[in-house]
Chain A
Amino acid sequence: MTIKDTMQFVEFDTFYSEYAPLTPYGLLDKNKYHVFTDKKMLFSIYNSIGKIVNFINKNSFESDKIEHHFKRISHLNTLERKTFDSSDIFLVKKLLVNFKSIFKLLNDEIKEDLKINFLSEELLNFLSCDGAVNETFYLSAEYNTELAESRKKIAETDKILAEIKKERIHKILDELGLDFRFRDFMIASESITNNLSSELIYKEVYDKTSLLLKPMLPKEYFDLHKKREALLLEENKLEKAVLISISEKIIAEKELIKNYINKIVLLDTLFAKARLAIKYKMIAPVLVDKKATIEVINGQYLPLANKCLRMGTIYTPLNAKFDNKTCVITGSNMGGKTVLLKTIGFLQLLTQMGFWIPAGKFKTAVFENIHYIGEDLSEKVEGLSSFGFEIYNLTNAIKDFETNTLLLIDEFAKTTNSIEAKAIIAAMLKSFSQKETVCSFVSTHFMELPEFEKVSFYKMKGLDYSEYKKYYNKEKQYSLPERIKLINSFMRYEIIKTDHKDKTYDAIKIADTLGLNDEIIRYTKEYLSENYD
């Protein structure tokens, strides 16, 4: 399903950016923008969200800790390898440590619902063989007695080397007054270095007047150093063998680890959805049969509701029980027709992306396709007019009519001649209403569209002109933002059922409020009076 245009139309990303999984896996999943069409799967997701909402509400300490562990989880390097290095093993161990912690914090209800289990205690203990069941990893000598022996020899050699070096440095300090305790070399002028014993000091030219001096270490130091190199090679071989044995143990549980990752995605995304549900007091949508109509009680279009909150203006949620699957939405300019379409689209997307919804109730079907047809939100296609673009999109949408399709059509054909536009819209309404798979919302300014069976007409209540007249002062020089605020204050953003004959004449009132000059207003009224009832 391509829903990019619908997402853009409803400004979905302003909400989606608040959806915040905490693990790299959860974030990757988020970026896939999953849209589900399987009703059973959606029910399951809603139920799981419900369980997690309850869990968060009753166990805030545990859920905070779970979030902490989510944040600690890093993306593993690939598991499709025969041998892992220390950093690969570190990542596996860290995942197991955090997943186990999350598992222990969850309640039985969630574990059972999401089939979560932790079965890698033995592997985790093996990776923590030095006793440290924490996130760090060290290729411990505990893994292999030969490795332990090798490291012991290296440590002993290092100790002797340090002692030899220390003794020599102290000798140089005592006899020559040169301090190499914190320095591997020194730059000194030739005059100072002339009488320095070559048994104790190595010299090389630095520049025209200075020499670079280094402590001359005894032969036994270099012999022992060579021995150390050999020990290091041996240690390296043994470490590789240990890495192979650890890798084998990890590979043996590869499928389990992949399962833990899947569960992490599930938990992380569900917790993120649950947090949003709590924040916006959301509820689970109600999914009904494809033949049923849509019903909304107190449906919030969050991008606008949040904007109103920031601006201190009133937001009116959507309340509507649509009695047909083809609905025409009419009403005055700035009356909220487009917002209604956006609200339906927004709630439907949330529903089918597995979120709860910000409403008192949202009863809807599952759609295999969701199309928006209206203003071109993408970059303009060269050679295609606005009307041409709408026809193109409609043609594409019609190809999907064999499966359940939701159409959101906003002021179709507003850029072409009104007679043909009205005719096309009438034809669309007739066609859509005859198809059981199509559910459409068509906003339009055209009045007196024909009546069709299975087509319902609704209108936005519009401007409360009587109240508005009491307040509006024609003489006052309102700024544009003030005018807009004025209109918003007296606009009634509620939807009411009407019929195909309904007429709305708010345009002149809106134009007047926005400051259109009196001469044009007067001419308009004269024209209407001469030509229309």
Chain B
Amino acid sequence: MNSIITEQLVNKTTFLVGNKKNAGKTTFLNYALTQLREVVQPAFFTIGIDGEASDLIFDTPKPKIYTEIGDYVVTSSLMLNKSDALFEIIHVFPYKTVLGRLVLAKTLRSGNIELVGSEDNKQLGEIIAYLRNEENINTIIIDGAASRVTQVASVKNSYFYYIIKLDQKSINSDINKLRTIALISKFRGFDKIEDRENKMVFEIKGALTESKLSMIPVDCDILLIDDFTKIFLDFSQVTELTEKLEITYKIPYQLVSFVVILKDIMKEDFAKILESHNIKETILYNPYDY
């Protein structure tokens, strides 16, 4: 058992977010579940539609999600009917998807399941609140759709893994993304800022994009944005901004770890890249590595 991952996930709500499609989120989910089952009965679900045997848009095969006896799953009623597992239905949510209403079910016989989730942040928050408050389910993993980082912030006190696939072909942009996430993950929540009344606070509603940089007053001390998912700047832009002011969040989030999937890159070479960029965040290497 990988006790590090288990400890990181137990009694928490954790999102799995990837830098691109097929980054390895679902594979990591399957692995994380095998670890967790040694200790708790986890709940898992997704945002949007996932888990098709063949991805119709990208024509790439996707791994199946394996549910075992005792697991709690949230998916659509249609997906439950299609699964070779057996379920006891615990709750039917009032939310409809194109594939039926969302259902909370407990696994009675192991098997494969396709996940369908809510695309709505508010519904997502309500589902999580229901699991925690009504069913006492506290270990929750949510498989986020590619780059749908926005969902993290819909639930306060949530965590996330950032699964990043680093390919030699796109190494520079991948590293840039990693550096940016590493940097912006450190910004504080607004309520942690001292002496707020005597500081010039400027709020940007919605996304922080390059075009909005000119809106920021010259004498701004604190730039307030909703959460880290609203930052659409690259590493150098963020760095330049933070030299002039402090960026804070209405909803801070907590990055548990990067999960790094390397392709055509040696681990030692990657370690050197991390060192050269002074990236000290927790890195979990592909748990499927020998």
Contact = CB atoms under 8 A, between A and B. Distances in A.
Interface of A: 24, 74-75, 77, 85-88, 90-91, 94, 135-139, 151, 154-155, 158, 178, 182-189, 192, 206-209, 213, 232
B207 interface: no
Nearest to B267: A189
Contacts of A189: 290
B101 A87 contact: yes
The prevalent SS among residues of A at the interface is mixed
Contact of A85 (B2, B30, B77): B77
Given A86-B80, A184-B30, A137 B88 contact: yes
Interface in B28-77: 30-31, 34-35, 77
B288 A74 contact: no
Contacts of B109: 151, 154-155, 158
Interface of B: 1-2, 30-31, 34-35, 77, 80-81, 84, 86-92, 94, 100-101, 103, 106, 108-110, 263-264, 266, 286-290
A435 to B, nearest CB: 49
A188 B262 CA distance: 12
A486 B100 CA distance: 61
B77 A86 contact: yes
Contacts of B2: 182
Contacts of A137: 88-89
A138 B109 CA distance: 12
Contacts of A206: 263
Given A77-B101, A87-B103, A209 B266 contact: yes
B30 A75 contact: no
Contacts of A77: 101
A187 B289 contact: yes
Given A138-B108, A182-B35, A232-B84, A91 B92 contact: yes
A139 B91 CA distance: 15
A26 to B, nearest CB: 14
Contact of B288 (A24, A75, A186): A186
24 contacts: A74-B91, A74-B92, A75-B94, A77-B101, A85-B77, A86-B77, A86-B87, A87-B80, A87-B89, A87-B92, A87-B100, A136-B106, A138-B86, A138-B88, A151-B109, A155-B109, A158-B110, A182-B35, A185-B288, A186-B288, A187-B286, A189-B290, A207-B263, A208-B264
Given A86-B80, A186-B288, A208-B264, A136 B92 contact: no
B103 A186 contact: no
B94 A207 contact: no
Contact of A136 (B35, B88, B290): B88
Nearest to A93: B89
Contacts of B263: 206-207
A207 B289 CA distance: 13
A74 to B, nearest CB: 6
Given A87-B80, A136-B90, A183-B31, 10 more contacts: A74-B94, A86-B87, A87-B92, A94-B92, A136-B88, A151-B109, A182-B35, A186-B289, A187-B286, A209-B264
Nearest to B30: A184
A206 B84 CA distance: 30
Nearest to A213: B290
Nearest to B2: A182
B89 A136 contact: yes
A183 B89 contact: no
